[in-house]
């Protein structure tokens, strides 16, 4: 781990792990404020595409977050020969996947679902105007501030699959563009041959299941385990 990072931040416990790296809680040594730091060991990435995505992630995440309240904010980036460390907001609220599961099979009220999808679209529109395509919008990459009685506030996280798309794109221009959708093996439309759309993303996020599946796939309502139900 970078000595400069450890000089500026006290590193705490691991709070997450993903395809590229590991996330720890950390605290600023000067202010005591809590953050999260995502650490990626680039030397362990053998795939050229993964190395490229790992190198771009902190730059694109910072660009997308600038002036965009719908994106997790990046506060500092530390790099050395092998590691990249991105210090960002510490988000302790649930993601959409947890939010839907904790409803124990009950549908999300339409006004709340509408508000969430509208916020996702607004956050993505600002990203696109800055030339950044997220490409991995899914329930567990959308964090919520679900305090209070109104609809939760949305913040997009994890730009590990993001791409630079030049001078920006519109939502209409992004439809079906290979630069702005998930890699083929991740795309919900891959099994049906259909192009992904904004509507499909909204359905996936609020229903916790793809909008389109192969014909052989059974359709089931969202379910949750008894412990999750008990937690509510």
Give one DSSP letter per residue of 83-143, joined into a string.
EEEEEE----S-BHHHHHHTTTTPPPPHHHHHHHHHHHHHHHHHHHHTTEE-----GGGEE
Answer yes or no: is 165 within a domain.
Answer: yes
Answer yes or no: is 225 within a domain.
Answer: no
Answer yes or no: is 183 within a domain.
Answer: yes
Same domain, 107 and 84: no
Whether the full predicted model's pTM is greater than 0.75, yes or no, is: no
- Secondary structure (3-state) at 202: helix
pLDDT digits (tens, 9 = 90+) for 47-97: 787 777 788 888 999 999 988 999 999 999 998 888 899 999 998 778 899
Last residue of a domain, one of 61, 88, 115: 88
Q: According to the model, what pLDDT value does residue 177 have?
A: 44
Same domain, 16 and 114: no
Same domain, 109 and 182: yes
38 is in an annotated binding site: yes
Same domain, 38 and 115: no
Answer yes or no: is 226 within a domain.
Answer: no
pLDDT digits (tens, 9 = 90+) for 96-147: 999 888 888 888 889 989 999 999 999 999 999 999 999 999 998 999 876 6
Q: According to the model, what pLDDT value does residue 172 have?
A: 40
Same domain, 149 and 198: yes
Range(s) of the domain holding residue 156: 96-207
Same domain, 40 and 69: yes
Same domain, 172 and 113: yes
Q: Higher confidence at residue 128 or residue 186? A: 128
Q: Is 108 left (phi over 0), alpha (psi -120 to 50) or beta?
A: beta
Same domain, 158 and 81: no
Same domain, 199 and 122: yes
> What is the 8-class DSSP label of residue 147?
-
Same domain, 67 and 128: no
Looking at the predicted structure, is the pLDDT value of residue 180 above 80?
Answer: no
144, containing H or E segment: strand 142-145
Same domain, 78 and 19: yes
Same domain, 76 and 159: no
Catalytic residue IDs: 136
Answer yes or no: is 220 within a domain.
Answer: no
Answer yes or no: is 13 within a domain.
Answer: yes
**What percentage of the chain reaches a pLDDT higher than 90?**
36
Answer yes or no: is 218 within a domain.
Answer: no
**Number of domains within the chain:** 2
Q: According to the model, what pLDDT value does residue 219 have?
A: 40
Instruction: Identify the CATH number of the domain in which residue 13 sits.
Output: 3.30.200.20
Answer yes or no: is 219 within a domain.
Answer: no
């Amino acid at each position: 781990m970078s000595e400069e990072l450890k000089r500026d931040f006290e590193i705490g416990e691991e709070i997450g792990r993903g395809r590229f790296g590991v996330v720890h809680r950390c605290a600023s040594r000067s202010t005591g404020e809590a953050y999260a730091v995502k650490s990626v060991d680039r030397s362990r990435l053998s795939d050229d595409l993964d190395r490229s995505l790992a190198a771009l992630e902190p730059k694109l995440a910072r660009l997308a977050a600038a002036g965009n309240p719908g994106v997790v904010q990046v506060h500092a980036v530390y790099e050395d020969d092998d590691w990249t460390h991105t210090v960002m907001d510490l988000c302790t609220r649930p993601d959409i996947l947890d939010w839907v599961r904790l409803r124990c099979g009950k549908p999300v009220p339409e006004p709340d679902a509408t508000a969430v999808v509208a916020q996702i679209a607004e956050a993505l529109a600002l990203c696109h105007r800055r030339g950044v395509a997220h490409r991995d919008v899914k329930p567990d990459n959308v964090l919520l501030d679900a305090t209070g009685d109104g609809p939760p506030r949305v913040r997009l996280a994890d730009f590990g699959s993001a791409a630079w798309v030049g001078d920006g794109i519109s939502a209409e221009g992004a439809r079906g563009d290979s630069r702005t959708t998930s890699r083929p093996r991740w795309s919900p439309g891959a099994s049906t041959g259909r192009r992904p759309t904004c509507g499909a993303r909204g359905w996936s996020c609020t229903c916790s299941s793809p909008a389109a599946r192969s014909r052989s796939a059974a359709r089931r309502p969202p379910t949750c385990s008894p412990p999750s139900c008990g937690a509510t």
